[in-house]
Structures are given as structure tokens and as C-alpha cells.
Amino acid sequence: MEAALSPTPMERRPAKQGKLTTPGTGSPNVRLQGKGGELGTAIVCTPPPLPTLEYKQKLTLSAQQVENAGEHERTPEAWVSLAVPDRAITTRTMSSVVQKDFIERLFKGAASGSMDDVRLFLKGTFDVNVKNERGWTALMFAARNGHMGVVKELLQHGCDTTVINSTGQTALDMALFWNHADVARILQTDSHQANPDDNPRNYFSLNPLNRCSEKRKDKTWLRNKVLADNTRFIAFHNLSVLATKLPKGTSSQRYELARVEMKDIELYMAANPVTVFLGIEQTNRHTPLTFEEPGLFAVDLSLAEEDKVLSLMPDSILMPGYPAAMQLRPEEAGIYAEARSMLAWHDRYQFCPTCGSPSRLEEGGYKRVCEDMECRSHNGVHNTCYPRTDPSAIMLVVSPDGKRCLLGRSKRFPAKMFSCLAGFMEPGETIEDTVRREVEEESGVIVDRVEYHSSQPWPFPASLMLGCIAYATTDHIKLDEEEMEDARWFSRPEVVQMLTRQHPQGLFVPPEQAVAHQIIKTWVRRTANL
Ligand SMILES: NC(=O)C1=CN([C@@H]2O[C@H](COP(=O)(O)OP(=O)(O)OC[C@H]3O[C@@H](n4cnc5c(N)ncnc54)[C@H](O)[C@@H]3O)[C@@H](O)[C@H]2O)C=CC1
Ligand SMILES: [Mg+2]
Ligand SMILES: [Mg+2]
Ligand SMILES: [Mg+2]
Ligand SMILES: [Zn+2]
């Protein structure tokens, strides 16, 4: 079982194992044998101590004793005895030595299938996706060795199945490679994160609201909804959203949308600011909607002073657009996308695009109607009355030999960032046309087959990114010098370094909240054995 901790298990299939000991450290080593002979020796960390008498004594230490003990004496068990039953163990109160011990115990427990060790860790409020120096998570260790019980336990605690290690494998890749079909099935069908290829869920796309578009024309219903006690407002000021900080340690995302009550903004509402009905926070979509379920609106408070908006909610900030908005809770980033795109539309379309007369809001803010009754826009279908969305294609281009992918640097990118090529769709184009045209314009590369990956609302101000994987038939690059600063073919190992921020020259790709990141990761997943 020790081979489970070998540094590169994907490349090393041990046929035979033999134990030796590293002189000086006492740590057992594992000699790895392949078909062609010895593949190398992996150092295995010292196994967790057995429950000796000393350990058992520590289990019963009092809180004061633990506080007083030297760092080396504060074992995980002692901390757990402190935490049970109602105090969670937090990294804030724990010395770095014990933290390290905890994490090591988690990895070893996951690799050996020891549920007790894993549960010991899960009692705390640590990050279950903590990685070792090779980017391995506990889920990977458990998947690598086919420990179904541990895998299930970790998934229940929110372990992320999409994390890749420093050689670009996910827990699923490991389970498949090592023939743990049952574990692979669980990882593929885990409801928390379905197979990313089948059902990608991009940031800004998770909007839990029932938009109730049928209610937008019901003026009485809308008026009553605005005034209902449990209705809340997402407040914006010059397209920056009012947000509050989340308690530390709950998630890697640091902010959530502030929900303001009518009584706090009555003063501003008298001036009739742009207000958009976003939807209902319906707890169960399968039961009929009742009026009691809370409604959510977006309100543009740009007319108020910034300080006044901030004073609506303690400890709040006005979060500007990209990239700050990447710090919102993913569960509500979709609400933000809807709200910000809508307010940005109203901000830019205050006059009728057909005749230039002022226009007014209708249908809960989902329509603008020209005030001039003679205007052509009152007859027939006029898309100028409705919110706009600009589709853009974004694509990872795979080289003709399938071994490299094309990433580029637009002139406005931060230093050292490379990303997928992207471009706006033009009228009369299919998604495939846009992909082929933009790739050729920006890099000179010719694309044949185009495969759809997933889409992402991009509320800056109102794009819809259409994520694709495109297959090139040529690999000569001729750069569009006006838009692009650079475009290159990257090998898989280099892309993995960029995804995991371990590239020797510090090159990186956009963060996981960008669909570009997800498309790149899909290609890395599909080429796990390259
Ligand atoms: N979510 C993600 O992962 C990423 C998103 N993006 C977004 O993709 C979008 C398109 O990418 P670009 O390379 O900028 O497009 P692009 O390659 O078509 O070039 C941009 C230029 O196209 C023109 N253009 C044509 N139609 C336009 C429209 N509807 N709105 C604005 N400009 C238009 C403008 O002159 C603009 O400067 C941008 O909104 C960008 O922010 C870009 C990279 C990553
Ligand atoms: Mg472009
Ligand atoms: Mg373009
Ligand atoms: Mg372009
Ligand atoms: Zn008009």
C-alpha cells in the first residue's frame, strides 16, 4: 500500500514491491518495478504513529493542559478532545506543527483507507481540498487506491473532483488508470460535480432564482412584490455591487451580495431609480409558486452618494466589475450576472435607438418602451426594446498532431497571462463560423472541426461566451499584430504548469472562474495519458 504515496503513480505501475529503509531517517522506501526493470525508488513518509499509551493519555488531556503543552505535544487527538462536542477545530487556533500533522494524517488515511484518520480531519473546519507539494488532494489518494468508503466520505464533505495535480490528473483519471471502476463511477456521477465534460457549470451561470417571466406583465403583482416585507434589493452604484465579506474559512470566495430592505432605501425609491425584477428565491421548483416566497430586485442607486450606499450594510464594499466580481460566492454569481447586465443595458439605452426619444421601463425592467407613440418601434418586433446579449466565441485550438494547444496574449492581458483566443460573433454567423474566422484572423491557423464545450454569461457588460474546442489542420502562426501580442503552441506538461501556477517563467492561464480555464482543463483531462 505504501506505493500509493509514490511521487508519480500515473507513470509507475508497480509490478513487484520490496521494502528497504532510507539510512539515517528510518523512513521505509519502496522500490518500484516495471516490465522493463526497476523504475525507481519512492520515499515514503513515516507512517502515522500507532495508538500508544502516550497517545491515549493525550486523548484525555484537559483543555488547559493542551493550551499549556509544548507545540510538539499538541497532537491532533488532543485538539479533537478540545473540540468535541461543540467547538470546531480551526486552523486559527492551531500551531503550524499540528496543522501539518493533521494534513499528513489526512493524506495517509485517505491513501490507506483509514476512515478514522480522515474523519479526524473532517471534524475541523479545514480546506478538504488541501494539496500536497505535488498537487495531490486526499480524494486523489483515496481514488488512486480504490478506497470507496473514503471517497464517498470526502465527496460528502465537498471535495472538488475537478482539481488536477501537478502532472495534470484528476482523482477520476487516477481511478480509471488504476482500474477502480466502482470509484470512477462514483466520481463521474457525483452530483456535486458531474463529469465536467457532460455538464460543465461555469461561474456566473449558477442562478438559483425562478425568473417568473410570466409575472413581469402583471403590474399589480409586481407592485405588491416590491412592497412585500421579505423582498430584498441588490444595490448597485455605477455598476459596482454592494457586497459583504463572508466569515473567514467558509470558502475560497470571499464576498456575498448584500440584500437591502425597502425601508432602508425608501428615500431613494422616491426618485424612481432603475429597478429590475430579478426573480423569486423559490425553495422548491416542483411546488406551485406562492406569493410568500421572497422576491429579489436589482436597484441602481447611482443617484446616491457612494458613502450613503455603503452605509446601507455594515462591513460592506462596492465591488467593481472584472476581476473583482470573481470573489463572489459561486452560488450567487449568476444573480450578479443577471443584475449587472440588466443595469448596464438601462444605463446605455436611455433613449430609443430608433428615433432618439426618451424611453421608459416596463415589464419589471425587462423592456424599454419609446415615449413617442408615433415611433416605428411600437409596430412589429423590435429587438431594440429588449435587453441585449453579445455572443462571443472562445476556443481552445488543438494542434494537428493533437499534442499541443494554441494560447494567445491579447494586448490588454495582465503580464504573463495566456488564454484561449476569443472574438465576438458577427451577424449571420454560426458558432463554428465565428470560431474559424476569429482563429484565422488572430493567429493565421486554419480550423476544421469545432466542438461545443459550454457557455458562460460574461456580464462586462453583456456577453455570452460560447466555449469551444477547435481542431486545427495547420500549425503555422501568423499573428494579428493589432489585437494580439503573442500566440504560441503549448505542450500538455507546460499547460499543466500554467494551470497549477508552477510554470518556471511564471506564465499562467485565467482563474477557474473563467470559461477559458475550464476549456483548457477539459483538454488536459482528455489527454491524461499524453
Ligand atoms: N470568459 C473568458 O474566459 C474570456 C472572456 N473574454 C471576453 O470575450 C469577449 C470577446 O473577445 P475579444 O478578443 O475582445 O473580441 P474580438 O477578437 O472580436 O476583438 C474585439 C474587438 O472587436 C470589435 N467588436 C466587434 N463586435 C463587438 C461587440 N459586440 N462588442 C464589443 N466589441 C466588438 C471591437 O473593435 C473590439 O475591440 C470580450 O468581451 C472579452 O472580455 C476573453 C477572454 C477570456
Ligand atoms: Mg479576440
Ligand atoms: Mg472580432
Ligand atoms: Mg478578434
Ligand atoms: Zn422611438
Claim to verify: residue 241 and residue 125 sit in the same structural domain = no
Q: What mean pLDDT, rounded, does the chain reach? A: 83
Q: What is the mean pLDDT of residues 305-330?
A: 95
Claim to verify: residue 33 and residue 58 sit in the same structural domain = no
Cβ atoms of 168 and 493 closer than 8 Å: yes
Radius of gyration, alpha carbons of the chain: 28
In angstroms, what is the span from residue 407 Cα to ligand 1's centroid? 16
Claim to verify: residue 110 and residue 231 sit in the same structural domain = no
**Which residue lies with its CA nearest to atom 11 of ligand 1?**
423
| Stronger pLDDT, 93 or 165, i.e. the higher one | 165
Sequential DSSP letters for 411-428: TTSPTTB-B-EEEEPPTT
**Which residue lies with its CA nearest to atom 16 of ligand 1?**
423
Compute the distance between CA of residue 480 and CA of residue 487 in angstroms, rounded to an integer: 9
Q: Residue 252 — very low, low, confident or very high, per pLDDT cuts 50/70/90?
A: low
Grid coordinates in use for 349? 439605452
pLDDT in tens, 386-418: 999 999 999 999 999 999 999 999 999 999 999
For residue 403, give every residue at least 6 positions away whose Cβ sits within 8 Å of its Cβ, in sequence order, or none. Answer: 491, 492, 527, 530
* Separation of CA 429 from chain center: 30
CATH of the domain at 464: 3.90.79.10
Compute the distance between CA of residue 227 and CA of residue 265 in angstroms, rounded to an integer: 12
Compute the distance between CA of residue 17 and CA of residue 411 in angstroms, rounded to an integer: 53
On whether residue 370 sits in a domain, the answer given is no
Final residue of a structural domain among 322, 349, 376: 349
In angstroms, what is the span from residue 360 Cα to ligand 5's centroid? 11
Q: Residue 382 — very low, low, confident or very high, per pLDDT cuts 50/70/90?
A: confident
Name the CA dihedral angle for 433, 435, 436, 437, rounded to a multiple of 10 degrees: 80
Q: What is the mean pLDDT of residues 12-23?
A: 34
Closest Cα to residue 252, out of 200, 329, 181? 329
In angstroms, what is the span from residue 470 Cα to ligand 2's centroid? 15
Final residue of a structural domain among 321, 349, 377: 349
Residue whose cell numbers read 465591488: 319
CATH of the domain at 260: 3.90.79
Cβ atoms of 187 and 223 closer than 8 Å: no
Claim to verify: residue 156 and residue 236 sit in the same structural domain = no
Ranges of beta strands (E only) in 337-493 are 359-362, 367-370, 390-398, 404-410, 421-424, 447-458, 463-472, 484-491
On whether residue 294 sits in a domain, the answer given is yes
Ligand sitting nearest the alpha carbon of 480: 4
- Cβ neighbour number for residue 271 with a 10 Å cutoff: 9
Claim to verify: residue 236 and residue 345 sit in the same structural domain = yes
Claim to verify: residue 503 and residue 409 sit in the same structural domain = yes
**Which residue lies with its CA nearest to atom 44 of ligand 1?**
516
Evaluate the CA torsion angle 493, 499, 503, 508 in order and state its sign: positive
Q: What is the pLDDT of residue 54?
A: 41
Grid coordinates in use for 163? 482539481
Ligand sitting nearest the alpha carbon of 465: 1
Compute the distance between CA of residue 118 and CA of residue 354 in angstroms, rounded to an integer: 64
Reported as half-sphere exposure (CB side, CA atoms, 13 A), residue 106 has a value of 28
- Cβ neighbour number for residue 175 with a 10 Å cutoff: 27
Claim to verify: residue 32 and residue 79 sit in the same structural domain = no
Claim to verify: residue 230 and residue 301 sit in the same structural domain = yes
**Which residue lies with its CA nearest to atom 27 of ligand 1?**
424
Vertex 411, ends 406 and 417: CA angle to 5°? 55
pLDDT in tens, 264-296: 999 999 999 999 999 999 988 888 889 999 999
| Stronger pLDDT, 201 or 365, i.e. the higher one | 365
On whether residue 381 sits in a domain, the answer given is no
Strands 404-410 and 484-491: antiparallel
Can you tell me which atom of ligand 1 is nearest the CA of 514? 3
On whether residue 375 sits in a domain, the answer given is no
**Ligand 1 neighbour 153 (Cβ under 6 A):** no
Res. 146: pLDDT tops 90: yes
Cβ atoms of 282 and 213 closer than 8 Å: no
Range of the domain at 134: 53-189
Can you tell me which atom of ligand 1 is nearest the CA of 465? 1
In angstroms, what is the span from residue 458 Cα to ligand 1's centroid? 11
In angstroms, what is the span from residue 374 Cα to ligand 5's centroid? 8
Q: Residue 192 — very low, low, confident or very high, per pLDDT cuts 50/70/90?
A: very low
**Ligand 1 neighbour 309 (Cβ under 6 A):** no
Q: Residue 255 — very low, low, confident or very high, per pLDDT cuts 50/70/90?
A: very high
Claim to verify: residue 218 and residue 280 sit in the same structural domain = yes
CATH of the domain at 136: 1.25.40.20
Ligand sitting nearest the alpha carbon of 418: 1
On whether residue 357 sits in a domain, the answer given is no
Question: Crossing angle, helix 181-189 and helix 148-156, to 10 degrees?
Answer: 10
Claim to verify: residue 250 and residue 152 sit in the same structural domain = no
Claim to verify: residue 339 and residue 419 sit in the same structural domain = no
What is the edge-to-edge ordering of all strands in the sheet holding 28-34?
A: 17-21, 28-34, 37-43
Distances (CA, A) of 117 to 104, 122, 527: 10, 9, 33
Claim to verify: residue 60 and residue 39 sit in the same structural domain = no
- Cβ neighbour number for residue 93 with a 10 Å cutoff: 13
pLDDT in tens, 212-243: 999 999 999 999 999 999 999 999 999 999 99
Can you tell me which atom of ligand 1 is nearest the CA of 515? 3
**Secondary structure of residue 9 in the 3-state scheme:** coil
On whether residue 159 sits in a domain, the answer given is yes
Compute the distance between CA of residue 150 and CA of residue 342 in angstroms, rounded to an integer: 45
pLDDT in tens, 451-474: 999 999 999 999 999 999 999 999
Can you tell me which atom of ligand 1 is nearest the CA of 442? 17
Compute the distance between CA of residue 59 and CA of residue 214 in angstroms, rounded to an integer: 61
On whether residue 378 sits in a domain, the answer given is no
Q: Report the number of distinct structural domains present in the chain.
A: 4
On whether residue 403 sits in a domain, the answer given is yes
